[in-house]
Structure 1
Amino acid sequence: MTNLVTEVARLKQELAQVKKGQRLSHGASVENAAIEVRDEDGSLRAIVGQQGDGTTGAVIVNGPPPPQPSAPIVAPVIGGVTASWDALFDGGAVMPLDWARIEVHASTAADFTPDPVTLQSTIETAQGATVVIPCETDVYVRFLARSTSGTASPASVVAGPVGPAPVVAGEILDGIVTTVKLADDAVTAAKVAAGAVGSTAIQAGAVLEEALHDAAVSTGKLATDAVTAPKLAANSVIAGKIAANAVTAATVAAGAITTDKITVSGGGNMLADPGFEGPYTDALVSGDAYWSVDATKGNGSNKSLRVSAVAATPTNRDLTLFDMPIQPGDQLYLAIDYQASTDYAGTPRIYARWENSSGGFLSTAAAQASPPVLGATWQRISATVTAPANAARVKLNIASTSGTAGTIWFDNASVRPVAGGTQIADGAITTAKIVAGAVQTLQLDAGAVNAAKIASGAVTTAKLDALAVTADKIAANSITTGKLAAGSVDATALKADAITGKTITGGTVTGATIRTAATGSRIVLDTNHLAALDSGNNIIAEFVPEDDIGRSAFKTYDTRLGLEYYGALTAGDLRFGVVGVTSEASEGFVSYSSLGSNRYELLLSSGRQAINYQPGQINLYASNSSTTDSSHIDLNAASTTVTGKLTAGNHAFGQTSITPSAAHTPTSSTVLYNITGANFYGQATANTTVPGVRTPVGAQGVTGVGVSNATSTSMMVWVNRENATATNVNWEVWGS
């Protein structure tokens, strides 16, 4: 009975020790932070709690790649091929617990590498499944496994080639193919009998520009005055579409035809899915929180591309359609239909992002609607853009820019190469195409006829009206001394600012613009600022006497992912932000200032998304005395993560070994160190597996440890135990 009582007492004592340990109690919470899960190597594997974008959840990251899936089982079917997965992995590997899906990829090339272009479908069930890949020719199929963290497996072996099964007329019953059974684009021109489609079978507005073959609509099919000026798209009338003598002076308004209104298109639409109807677009928006395919709305089709613009602050939401190599001077014609909801706030655009050979950003060029037309009607925007100097690659994007509310839909996108630039190619309009008398003075833009276009001796004095030749019509340096009558140029004939030269000595130049070049990379000084411009005419740096918030500053600019960033150097401040997004109150900055009493402060702030958000901030304060070091640093943040070792001048720790002089006799050891502070606090704990009084009494337990006499350089560490065994004691001391 005595042993039982003793054992119960011992168990109660051990339970009390366990309760003193660290634990997360029932009902505990993690406030404004997250729990990081790491593997045995210290690599981050999961984040549970508040995420970096402000949302809350469990996110799996940095997972290992899944095993290679087994080879596809392919078979032909009408209109395509089937690809089946048997739920197995190469070499009999076991399906990992973080498996997410199987991607199905297909290509006409046998040695293709899976990418977003080849993605056809996905298998979301771990039991395996069969999917249909629409195709018209033989294809090769590969599988790719992905984990919940997005990590891809090695691609499976290639299966194929296999093509669609033939459709035999005898296998189709009369009347069995109805309109609902026909896939989009299933009926081609070759399958429609001549005269089969009458005017009553065509829905109003069903025939779009993209559906018309070149020369499909002849003049005999157009009613008189059917094509009016508002029905002609900008740049739609090119030289090859105008009959000889068709355009006369009577039909051309004065100044109506300028060089930038005529585009010579040199190719077809470069987009693989311009109507956003197929798997290519599905793959582009897969997993995107803002972009999706809307199967309920389209302009002449069943689908369109939808993006939500709802955001707390002006936000850009971009989607890259494709990228390709480009050369400086190459031109592209960009166009797209858009429809904006009545509450939409933002700018719809289609744009080209130019990059150099290293992938560095150069500039952008866009077609956009600013402001856009709101409501349930489709609008079209278009522009012709030119690749700048040093361009080697272009990314084609559509976007909702600076959006805060509503929804925008896109459809019928067009990206076409433009031959010979946006101007009329040399020799494109010959004299045979111009009727006699068609081009009169009203049809000529100012300066349109230059000296190279006038035959030698064609302009005689009889062709010149009195006073027709004014100063602005005379080319620089064209009047030489041999053309001037003696004494004809006097002081009254010289304009005040008519004399230019290589050097101006003395005097003051007021209200002028001074620049190093008219175009390209250059420096410009005008009444507003001193600016540096790149070859794309973008300001990359400027000095402004007073910016939009009253600061005199030197600013630099850089555009990344559609946002224009700036840095502004003012007296004592270096500020950072995004043009059109951040205000003075939300900028990130480095600031230097005097606090008085011989004290200075350097402040580093991260900036913030909105006024009610808290920035991360570091304040560094200089000492205000030569005798007392009062310098310090304040770190203001919700949480701080230190990777590596954290060393403090007011902290020391270590381990000492103490051999008791006898059992049950407190014995001390002095530990040495050097820390800062005025008051010192120490603690110690025994490195032992036998803490406390043991049974029977006097066996070997460590009954107590302690510290005393803590100073800036030393402290006494004590141990007491039931025997005289040497004991390692861990100690720590802090100064304040």
Structure 2
Amino acid sequence: MYDEDGSLRAVIGQQPDGTTAVNIVNAPPPPAPSPPTVTSVLGGVAAAWDGRLPDTAAAPLDFARVEVHAATDENFTPSSVTLCGTLESPRGGALAIPTEHPVYVRLVARNTSGVASEPSAQRGPTGPAPVVAQEVLDGIVNELSLADAAVSRNKIAIGAVDADRLAIGTGNLLPDGGFEGEYSSQLVTSRTDWSLQSPGNASPRCLAVNATAGQPTTRSLQLVALPASPGDRFFLSVDYRTSADWSGSGLRLVMRWHDADGAMISQGTVEAAAAPGTAWTGMSGQVQAPAATARATVWAEAVDATRGSAAFDNGRVHTVITAGMVLAGSIGALELTANSITGEKIVAQTITGREIKFGSLTGDHLDVNSARIALLTAGVITATMIKADALNGRTITGALRTADSGSRVEITSVPATETTPSSGRVHLASGSATEVEPASMYSLFDTARNTSTLRLQSAVLQDPQPPTVMAKAAASLPTWPTSSITMWSDPDASYVELSATRAIVDAQTTLIGSSGRTLLELSGSDINGVNGAGVAVPVYIGGRFAVDPEGWVSRYNETWSAPAIGSGWAQYGGSWDRVAFKIYPDRTVGLRGVIRRSATTTAAAGEIVIVLPSSARPATTYTQQFQVLTSSGAALFLNLNPASGTLTLTNLTAAASSALTTGTNHLNLSSIRFPLD
């Protein structure tokens, strides 16, 4: 498809690589975004964009995203090397950039054709925030900042480290968790329902939301965007309070999980059912990223509220330390209360035979079914130890795998989450170091909908580790797009959903539609419509634009329509063409037919001949003028008013005015055609 200047804008059908698709191309560059706001945070800097494109009033409809670039060199040129992340919303957002050195930051906008804008003005250099005493007390010094054995048992107070604190890893990932700085001011600049108020919870300011609404409404504010990978755990906490007239379901801190394309997968929440007049109190909990996660966004939310206000302060988001990150021997028997560690608190496979003293576990110490195959090291149980027929018809819990590493097949069960029920899965691991999550096949049953879904999911991969690590965490390496096939049915229909960046169908002819009904036929570079009898029918694009089998282009339900005729005028009648208008696919309007002036009064300028409806009026504010002749050959002009749609007489010659007073003279409107835009 070409635009009015003859430039290619879209390719529909077979593409240069042989695939069939609708591909948008050659779009003009988007306007450059406004400069970012860059603030210092612990461990790096935070870059925020206010959503403005100074050269235009609103984001173009083909807006895709804004890239955030950072480098230590002044006036650097953005490239794939300097790319730190993207902001997917045209309303703006913020991104945390890990760095140990001051950096300059620039923004670049891209459209759906992949065309980049000019870079924004740079901001910086800005470096990470210094560590102060209060931040040390809050746990901002991590394991890498401490010398070996710097913190011994004698330096930790009894009860100072509980289960949640033991799991907390890196420092606060919220750039301004206390809502005191310029970063938070930027977050609420364009919001009328969110603001910063004083005082906070033992602090100068807090984040507040006006929840008043005519019906239950959930109000959300994005606090930060972060890189994330499948399986990552985060600890969330925030203080909150409510006004005396508060009415709502609750307050929550939300972590939304997004895939590589920016689509939201699901979300994890820490929520409190706050009562009216709640004084400052806290809520906290852990959430985990699901499969296919590439990034996460953190939101503060007031849920289903109709009245009053609420406030948030001292927000914290931390990564959670997983098994294997606690120094061996750092927690001994003296630190553990009797029965404080039970079987339910030990992650599967964390205690192996190496950790158990020989002879300390006998049959009396094991519950029925407590020793499962998944917990035993390969080779520990040999064939001579298994009684004949002992496994015949038995259920084996845990995972079955063909190998411990490398290319392998694993059959396992996955427990239920907030968004999906439990399921059995077959994992097909390639053994590649870039494989974040293996390919899988599984079935899910939705009891509420009585629906069984079969899903084939490709592996989640990421780029190989670059030889030179830049000033950003390795966990921020982007994951590659994934593809999946999902099959399910409901009482009315069955479905197959194919999800992929590019779908390749290797077939001479592809038919899309229901058997026995109208089908879309894709054959090479041809797109045709055929009905159940195999007869060619028009192809409709967007339900409005049609191409018939003869190659004629039209709009759906396109017909000649009669306009309103002015007083003193009438259709000429007889065998002569009737006055009508038609809207063409190229967004022009054409007139046709012969109209007679039935009045015998003197014709004058401004007299209305016809009136066009609003759908057939040009968008311009300027009057358009057309020259016509009377049936006696006298010249005059017709003015088209775009606001009222009236076609009126103007510039009448004496001969034209005289001819039009006879009651029989007429005008032919067939030469009139004008654009709508």
TM-score by length of 1: 0.39
TM-score by length of 2: 0.42
Higher Rg: 1
